[in-house]
Amino acid sequence: MICIFYNCNSFKKDEQKEESLYSQFQNPPAEARPFVRWWWNGNKIQINELDRQLQSLKSVGFGGVEINPIAMPLAFDKSEKSLVWMSDEWVDMVVHAAKKAKDLGMITDIIAGTGWPFGGEFLKDEETSQRMVTDKILFGSNAIIEVDEDYLINLYKKKYRKSRSQRHISKRTTYKLANLALVPVNCNDEDEIINLSRFLDKNKKLNYKIEKSGNYYLSYTLIQQNFREVTLGAPGGAGAVMDHYKKEMTLAYLSRLKKISERSGISLNQLIRAIFCDSIEVSGANWTDGFETLFYNAYGYQLKEWMPFVFYSAKGNYANDDYANSFSSDFKEKLKRVRYDYNKLLVEVFLKNFTQTYKDFCEANGVLCRYQAYGTPFLMGILDGYMIPDIPESNNWIYSAVMKDSLWQWNQNHGYMTWNLYASAGGHLTDKKIISSEVVTNTRGVFKTTLEEIKQHDDMNFITGINHSILHGYNYSPKSASFPGWIRYGAYFSEQNTWWIVG
């Protein structure tokens, strides 16, 4: 009787499809299982130990690993040899790990560098990240201004030496005076701003008398070159951060990964599924060579005269800008336009020269691009960034919110739920099938995490559009290491954890 109303073959196919789906939930394929971020602590890796750890991960159901070299935790043994990132020995280990994972039916991803953001000891100064910083000094009527470049640089360094923005400052950082202007406290129009750069002598000294009445800001802008070091970079990938706004720099950096296939004779996509880019935390890198020309070509006016106003102060953002409070309303509106133009172009240059170039490199080498678009530069580019990669990835933190309260409220000071929504939106808008997340990220409370808490936090990922979890993380730690092993971060995903076999 059923066949009167339904095509029998179609009905059988639907039944078979349901049975197949059910069986796949019982035994998911590798790509549908959780992965782990596999920290290669200090690159102190050995073949036998790589094999043991992969087998352990396989035995408890993980589908893949993300090879992620990172600095050796300070508290642990330094005696074992560290391999240098992209050295022959290190590449051989990557190839071995990827082949072993494949033999076990697992998948291997790899981060493009070490630590974050990408960089290395091998970079030349002109290849490193740049940041414009600005500050001001108040002067009254008829004041004589006597300053030079060294004075302004030392003043800035002393004033902001303890600020958050200087936290990762490099010992190799150089400073150069980029702009000097006199701005009326009650500025009404850009024509009232006096360009003082033209009054500097050959030694970059200024001797200038204010002829007009009223109070003025001496606004100075400095460019920091090589201002940022890689956070927790492993040997070979530590040192200065690269300039993410240069296409040729992005390609040169990523091209180092070709050594994996060149040395092994195996195409990269036979070893690696995806090349991963961690969050773009470039600490306010807001400049690159030739940006003024790009700005003029895009908008038809010069950025230089607006330099006192477009760069965030060392302490914050436009929202807490006390600089412009006394400016006229008309002038404030002009500032909004210029600031928007500047930030929009900065994002566009970043997405073109780094993100899209990164994606193009992956595509050319037959691997997927897995990418976290949150961080810098700015929220206004985050959706655009998430529409570019093959696998948009977010980040979910454990202990940012209290999950056991009757009403769950995410931490408004931490953007992870917003990042999830942007990642999933970017993926859906471009028909991406995998939306991943670095899940239960944890930098504290390593030994108090429970399976219940992990499930609660990962449930929030799925609710907000995430469908693949990359657990943060699994520490490379030799079996011989005393308890608790080499721990960098994480929720102690380890064979020594009592719930490892039931996780």
Catalogue the E-assigned strands of 365-408.
Answer: 368-371, 391-397
The ranges assigned to domains in the chain are 1-29, 30-121+231-283+346-502, 130-227+285-328
Reduced DSSP (H G I as helix, E B as strand, rest coil) percent helix, strand, coil of the chain, to 5: 40, 20, 40
| C-alpha–C-alpha distance, residues 308 and 183, integer Å | 8
In the three-class reduction of DSSP (H, G, I as helix; E, B as strand; rest coil), residue 401 is classed as coil
The total of other beta-carbon atoms located within 10 Å of residue 60's CB is: 13
| C-alpha–C-alpha distance, residues 395 and 147, integer Å | 46
Regarding the domain with residue range 30-121+231-283+346-502, which homologous superfamily does it belong to in the CATH classification?
Glycosidases (3.20.20.80)
| C-alpha–C-alpha distance, residues 169 and 467, integer Å | 37
| Terminal C-alpha separation, the chain | 47
Q: What is the structure's pLDDT at 5?
A: 39
Mean pLDDT of successive 10-residue stretches along the chain, which has 503 residues: 46 62 83 96 96 96 97 80 96 98 98 95 94 94 95 93 69 93 92 94 94 92 93 94 97 97 97 96 90 97 93 68 80 92 95 97 98 80 95 90 74 82 96 95 81 87 94 92 87 87 72
CA distances from 357 to 344, 353, 361, 362, 430 (A): 18, 6, 6, 9, 18
Q: Mind spelling out the 3-state secondary structure of 10-78?
A: HHHHHHHHHHHHHHHHHCCCHHHCCEEEEEEECCCCCHHHHHHHHHHHHHCCCCEEEEEEECCCCCCCC
Cβ neighbours of residue 16 closer than 8 Å, sequence gap 6 or more:
none
| C-alpha–C-alpha distance, residues 332 and 300, integer Å | 20
φ/ψ (deg, to 5) at 97 = -65, -40
Kind plus residue range of the DSSP H or E element containing 494: none
Q: What digits encode the pLDDT tens for the residues 72-105?
A: 988 776 778 999 999 999 999 999 999 999 999 9
Q: What is the structure's pLDDT at 80?
A: 82
Q: What digits encode the pLDDT tens for the residues 230-277?
A: 999 999 999 999 999 999 999 999 999 999 999 999 999 999 999 999
| C-alpha–C-alpha distance, residues 121 and 230, integer Å | 10
Q: What is the structure's pLDDT at 2?
A: 40
